[in-house]
Amino acid sequence: MKYKKHLCISLLSSTFLVSNLLHATEELNLTESKVWKVSPLEFSTVSITEKDTDLSKCEVWDVQPFVFSKISNINEDTNLTACNKEWILLPFAFSTDSTGLSGGLGVIKQGLLQPQTTFVAAAFSGLSQDITTNGDSDKANLYGGFISFSDFKIPNTERLFFSFTGFKSYIPKGHYYFNGSNDSSNDDVFISSGDLNFFNTTFRYVLPLGAGRENPDGACALLDGFAIGRHTCGSGTPILSGSTSIGLKTFYQYNSFENWEASDIWGNEDLSSAPEWKTNGLRFFLTHDNTDFNLNPSRGYHFELQYSKDFGWGDSTQSWDFLEFKYNHYFNLNSFSFTKQNVLALSLWTGYSFSWNDDHEVAPGLNLHRPPIWEGARLGGFSRMRGYDRNRFSDRAVSYATVEYRAIIKYNPLKDNALVPVKVDWFQLVGFVEVGRVHDQYNFDLVSDMKYDVGISLRTMIEDVPMRLEVAYGDEGTNVWFMVNQPFDF
C-alpha cells in the first residue's frame, strides 16, 4: 500500500495556521444569564442546559473565512476587559515529500491599523535534501516567507474590505502532474526544484441584504466552541437571509522548473535557463453564506460562484479562464447520549474552462489556453479527493461531491486541563466519502468512471480554530493530512 505523509503541519497548512491562530487572552463577562445584546447584533434568548456552563467564557468574534478577531464594540449590557492585541510569535514545523523536514517562525498582530484586521508574517527553512537537476546530483533545501494582511475596511466605507497575501519560496522537490487526465498514471509525475511565488489581493463588498444589512462584519458569539444566539440562521429566503458578498480578486503566481530535462514538456528543448510558468489575472465572485456558524456549521447552506481570467497581460505564459460553482449544505441531526452535535454535511463543486484548446499546444503535451495545473479543474489534496496527491488530476472540466458525517463527542479529556497550555473546546469524529472526475468535455461522462476515496478524521476546536487530522484511502494509496479549518472552506 502506498503511503504518503503530510504531517507536522504541511507547508500550506502552516501558513493558514499562522494566519488563523487567535490571541485568546481577553475575557468577556456577561451580566445577564439568558438575554444579552452584542453590537451590532441583537441575540435572542439562549437556553443554557449544562449546570456547570460558565458564561464568563462566552466570547464575541468577528468571523470571516480565514480571518478571526474579537470585536470590541460591546454595548452596556456586557463588560469586556481591555483588549490585549499584542504581537504574537509562533514557531512551527512541517514535513512533506516536496519540502522535507522544515520549520519556521511566524508573527501575528490582531488589530493592526483597524480593530478587525489580522496581520501575519512568517519565515521558514528546511533541512538539505538530495535532489537531481538535469541528470546531476545536488543538494537543496526549502526556504521562503509569507505575509498576509486581511479584513482591512477601506476608509470612508462601511462594507468594502481589502486583503492581500504574498508568498515567496524555493521548493527542493516540487511534484507536478502535467498529464492529470482521469486515466493517467500517478507514476507520470514530474519532480523538480524551483521557485514558487504568488501574490493575491481581494476586494470584498458585503451587500446590504439579510444579515449583511446590519452586520457586515459577520459578528457572532461563541461559547465553548459553539455559536450561540444563531437559531434563526441557516434558513429563510436565499439572498434575503444570510450574508451575501460580491468582489474582485487579483492573482499572480510564478513557478520555475530547474529539472526540465526530466519533463516531457521541455526535455527536448535547448534551454539556457529554467523554464517558467507565470500567470496573472482577475477573479470575480459572488458568495452567499446562510449557515449558523461558518467555521463549523450545523445547519444551513453556503454557495459561491467565481470566474477566473488570465488575460495574457504582461509576462503571463498564456491566457486562460475558469468558471466554478460550489454549494455546501448542512443538516443538524439528533444527537446520541455520548455526542453534543451530529451533522450531515454535503458539498458539490464543478467547473469548466471555456478557453482550453485541445487542438493546439503551447508546448509539447501542454494545451493552449489551459489553466496551470494548480488552477482550474483539479482534484487531489487536502480539500478535494484527499486520498490522492495534491493536484493529481487536472483537465478542462471537473465534477466533485462529498458526504461527511460529523459528530462532536462529549468526552474531552483536554478541556480545562491545567497541563494543556491552549483552550480545547471539543473533539469531532468524522467519516467521509468523496467522488470526483476531470474530463476534457463538460457532459455526462463527468459522472461516470469517477475516482473515489473514503476516510476518517479527528477534528478539534483549539483556541477557536478548527483543526483536523485525516486519513484517506484511494486506489493509489493512503494519504494523511493535518490541516486547519473544515475542508469545505477551501
- Whether 377 shows a pLDDT value over 50: the answer reads yes
Please report, rounded to a whole number, the percentage of residues in the chain having pLDDT higher than 70.
82
More confident residue, 47 or 311: 311
- Whether 241 shows a pLDDT value over 70: the answer reads yes
- Whether 78 shows a pLDDT value over 50: the answer reads no
d(Cα 461, Cα 222) in Å, to the nearest integer? Answer: 12
Amino acid identity of 429?
Answer: L
User: What mean pLDDT is predicted for residues 99-115?
Assistant: 87
| Cis upstream peptide for 40 (omega within 30°) | yes
- Whether 462 shows a pLDDT value over 90: the answer reads no
pTM: 0.82
- pLDDT tens per residue, range 4-40: 554 444 433 444 443 333 333 333 333 333 223 233 3
Predicted local distance difference test score (pLDDT) of residue 106: 87
Q: Which residues pair with 129 in a beta bridge?
A: 140
Predicted local distance difference test score (pLDDT) of residue 8: 40
User: What mean pLDDT is predicted for residues 437-451?
Assistant: 96
In the block, residue with C-alpha cell 474582485: 248
- Whether 416 shows a pLDDT value over 70: the answer reads yes
Predicted local distance difference test score (pLDDT) of residue 316: 96
Predicted local distance difference test score (pLDDT) of residue 85: 54
As given in the structure block, the three cell numbers for residue 154 are: 477601506
